[in-house]
Structure 1
């Protein structure tokens, strides 16, 4: 089969399009023909080694250099299994499964839950497709059958491929923050894959959405359902006032982290699953403890998250945002365009038909 092999930390030259064997199934697994694979920050971050604790810059700053050494802790602060196949999002078609799998049928269209808690939901231990084992930047992918969800929808393959990583990450943060219709929720980075999902998922729960995005994208974010949009260049405290929001869901971090603590009302909740503007932040601990704030880190997806998303899709409660599609072989071009941050929604790679 054709696949993109990421050979190490570095630039786009580390992405090689070549022939590799089709995966062989083990007990409890399913083989999927990949119909579409979304492009995410996490694949770029892993290639660049951004998850290493030695990296303190923003993702944008790190991507500016093609000369990278392989970092021992570059993948989620663990060793990255180079060479391997990335691709965290997968819309696929079931083509084979082992005898001990009884809930799937050949030809069914499915989504893969990319964050997997295979030892159970009493533990936060997790593995991720395309970080801990080969992913969907290929014609076929092998995954545990427990992580495959049949979806009954008239969405296209490409539209479904926008969902798993971004919407799963977003729904997990909304779920952990226990967002209700009474909440005022600030969403940063609202035009990106996770941010645009957040606007929809928060609004779906009836909450008031205040979205932060680049000036050229404010109208598009407003059209997603945001009640108020604010330029990312604005002074957030001046625009909103201290103690003015109940929840902040933030994948940006960087210099605005301290201001977001001041925006939260007493008992407010802050959730994050990323730090694209930089992982090193300044916190006034008095804002944290005097206001009884909850700071919630979100990587492991909770059990209801992915079934929730399947239901939202099938009931038409959310919509996909496809910014652009690319052939699988053009992954370097897709990632270059992705890093310009000029788009709203998701890029999707389409493998060649087998």
Structure 2
């Protein structure tokens, strides 16, 4: 077998999960400042579904085949020139940067050294793949919202990848956590540490009370949830409504001009420091991986299909080994 090639999940056209297949792609070589990682597992994220379906085609273009996969865990296989803080064999996790696009759904990935961190000892690499996206929750609550002990936190999409981490971290930071999730997942989010769990289908925003911080992972009805903020409250969203992008982004922009509380929008772009923080939270027992189901690489399409169906508890993870 040609060791210059590797298995990778590809698609030749935009569409549903069935467009995904495991094919062959050139095995990357680490450039200066990069690390080659042998991928052990990755998780499936909403952004990948949007890209695969073509909803992000203005960004992803029309050149095929295209790749999928955003985060990963694995072992360092080779070092590019100038990399000194890692050694071959180190167990690492990471997220591809905004300029890198997708591509972690493969046997190998080359990534800048500052985009990865070491996985804590004792944490299984497949389970650990549920956690790189938790860096988004750390950034949202600590850096963007400045969540403080004793404040009231509302988490929308509390059973999902970022949401479940936000519930755990909110509790660890000393906040009173209200979690919104599907009815079938209410016990799950309570088990994560939520003080109050609310069925997203039956609860109206106006019935929820007031909050100091709202973390939104849905991107819909932003104005309604912004009205729940106390004076001095902060709302952070990591999503916007892809079905109504102009209205959704307009609501975010308008919040900075008038009304109660500005909506802070950002997309996760973690670096080494974020992964160091992530590892510390795990070691201190503040954060644990929540894996709903593990799929083999050949069933990546099934993992996409499951995430689209909704109801995930934590993360769907794909094992590459």
Q: By how many angstroms is 1:169 displaced?
A: 1.7
Query: Which residue is 1:267 aligned to?
Result: 232
> 1:302/1:29 Cα in 2 relative to 1: closer, same or farther (>3 Å)?
closer
Query: Which residue is 2:286 aligned to?
Result: 317
What secondary structure, in the 3-state scheme, does the structure 1 residue paired with 2:165 have?
helix
Question: What is the aligned residue count?
Answer: 310
Q: Aligned equivalents of 1:192 and 1:334: distance in 2?
A: 14
Query: Which residue is 2:137 aligned to?
Result: 170
Query: Which residue is 1:153 aligned to?
Result: 121
> 1:145/1:94 Cα in 2 relative to 1: closer, same or farther (>3 Å)?
same
Map 1:198-277 to 2 at 5 A: 198-241=166-209, 244-254=210-220, 256-275=221-240
**Alpha-carbon contact 2:95-2:269 (below 8 Å) kept:** no
Q: By how many angstroms is 1:182 displaced?
A: 2.5
Map 1:289-300 to 2 at 5 A: 289-291=258-260, 293-300=261-268
Query: Which residue is 2:161 aligned to?
Result: 193
> 1:140/1:204 Cα in 2 relative to 1: closer, same or farther (>3 Å)?
same
Q: By how many angstroms is 1:145 displaced?
A: 1.7
Cα deviation digits, residues 175-194 of structure 1 (max 9, x gap): 21001113111110111111
Cα deviation digits, residues 203-226 of structure 1 (max 9, x gap): 111111111111111111111000
Query: Which residue is 1:64 aligned to?
Result: none
Q: By how many angstroms is 1:50 displaced?
A: 2.3
**Alpha-carbon contact 2:190-2:196 (below 8 Å) kept:** yes
Structure 1 residue runs without a partner (length 5+): 52-70, 117-125
Q: Aligned equivalents of 1:42 and 1:178: distance in 2?
A: 25
Q: By how many angstroms is 1:128 displaced?
A: 4.8
Q: By how many angstroms is 1:98 displaced?
A: 2.1
Name the stretch that deviates more: 231-240 or 341-350: 231-240
Structure 2 residue runs without a partner (length 5+): 1-5
What secondary structure, in the 3-state scheme, does the structure 1 residue paired with 2:258 have?
helix
Query: Which residue is 1:68 aligned to?
Result: none
Q: Aligned equivalents of 1:290 and 1:20: distance in 2?
A: 50
Query: Which residue is 2:147 aligned to?
Result: 179
Q: By how many angstroms is 1:129 displaced?
A: 4.7
Cα deviation digits, residues 201-249 of structure 1 (max 9, x gap): 21111111111111111111111000111110234344323xx111111
Query: Which residue is 1:22 aligned to?
Result: 27
What secondary structure, in the 3-state scheme, does the structure 1 residue paired with 2:214 have?
strand
**Alpha-carbon contact 2:219-2:238 (below 8 Å) kept:** no
Query: Which residue is 1:66 aligned to?
Result: none
> 1:202/1:286 Cα in 2 relative to 1: closer, same or farther (>3 Å)?
closer
What secondary structure, in the 3-state scheme, does the structure 1 residue paired with 2:83 have?
coil
**Alpha-carbon contact 1:338-1:347 (below 8 Å) kept:** yes
Cα deviation digits, residues 239-267 of structure 1 (max 9, x gap): 323xx11111102132x322212211112
> 1:283/1:97 Cα in 2 relative to 1: closer, same or farther (>3 Å)?
closer
> 1:28/1:286 Cα in 2 relative to 1: closer, same or farther (>3 Å)?
closer
Q: Aligned equivalents of 1:95 and 1:209: distance in 2?
A: 41
Q: By how many angstroms is 1:277 displaced?
A: 8.0
TM-score normalised according to structure 2 size: 0.88
> 1:196/1:99 Cα in 2 relative to 1: closer, same or farther (>3 Å)?
same
Q: Aligned equivalents of 1:288 and 1:202: distance in 2?
A: 28
Higher strand share: 2
